[in-house]
Amino acid sequence: MVSDKMAKALNAQLNFELYSAYVYLAMSAHADSVGLKGFANWFNAQYQEEMMHAMKFFNYIMDRAEVELEQIDKPRKEYKDALEMFEETLKHEQEVTARINELATLAIDEKDHATNTFLQWFINEQVEEEATVKEILDKLKLAGATGPGLFMVNNELGTRTFAPPADANA
């Protein structure tokens, strides 16, 4: 069992992971609507990854407390261009990182070693998430908002496939 405070914090993160999935699904829809099929594919894979993250939290909470699902806010649905979508993606991932770090700090403060161990996977995942988004942002800044460079980045992002890690449900 976890403390009530930890259960509340874990449930808040579960709901934020579901919101994150919703954000990326909306970005995928927008990218598709403006002809950026590769970007749409990348954001769709990101949606699937966030759903896997949500399920990791769901399963962990089910084992240790009670799941509390909340209403999910409506995500933004339009963006000026691909660069703005990835600038927002980086901000969003940085917020996820901050939230995960706060959870880990709470777990340490409460001497909840099981939850702290569980959160280490997410801490490492967020390093990768931010690095990936920063790399795409760098490419977009070099490529520009239109033209052949954008076409190349779009094609590259179109090759992404979602493959859950072996421990996805752990």
pLDDT, block means (10 residues), the chain with 170 residues: 96 98 98 98 98 98 98 96 97 98 98 98 97 97 88 95 74
Q: Hey, is 70 helix, strand or coil?
A: coil
- What is the rounded distance in angstroms from the CA atom of residue 137 to the CA atom of residue 94? 14
| Domains (range + CATH), the chain | 4-157 (1.20.1260.10)
pLDDT at residue number 5: 98
pLDDT at residue number 100: 98
Q: Hey, is 155 helix, strand or coil?
A: helix
The two three-digit tokens of residue 56, written as one number: 């990791």
pLDDT at residue number 88: 98
- What is the rounded distance in angstroms from the CA atom of residue 35 to the CA atom of residue 50? 24
Q: What is the pTM of this model?
A: 0.94
Q: Which residue has the tokens 């769901």?
A: 58
pLDDT at residue number 144: 84
Q: How far apart are the first and last CA of the chain?
A: 17
Q: Write the single-letter amino acid at 56.
A: K
pLDDT at residue number 109: 98
pLDDT at residue number 27: 98
Are 99 and 13 within 8 A, CB to CB?
A: yes
- What is the rounded distance in angstroms from the CA atom of residue 130 to the CA atom of residue 124? 10
